[in-house]
Amino acid sequence: MPTLKEARAARLLTVRGLAERAGVAFSTVHLIETGRSVPRFGVIEKLSLALGVEPAEVEEFAAAIEAAGQGKAVAA
């Protein structure tokens, strides 16, 4: 399962390009890729759509969805 960075790079997108395509802040993508933020489901949806993947196909998204399903707090 690819990380967000790998999925983005495979589509030849920069962090800024993915952020613009998804309608999220550059810093949001950067923080998720560097492991300093866990995405909320709305952000996961936007980024997944922009990448053309299912949320469960990206490592960070799958982990965030699993954590939410277990009742763990999910940060921005």
pLDDT digits (tens, 9 = 90+) for 12-47: 999 999 999 999 999 999 999 999 999 999 999 999
User: Is residue 45 in a domain?
Assistant: yes
User: Is residue 50 in a domain?
Assistant: yes
CA 61 → CA 2, 34, 37, distances in Å? 10, 13, 11
Looking at residue 66, its pLDDT comes to 93
**Domain count along the chain:** 1
Confidence grade of residue 70 (pLDDT, cut at 50, 70, 90):
confident
Look up the pTM and report it: 0.90
Domain that holds residue 18: 4-69
Strands (E), 1-76: none
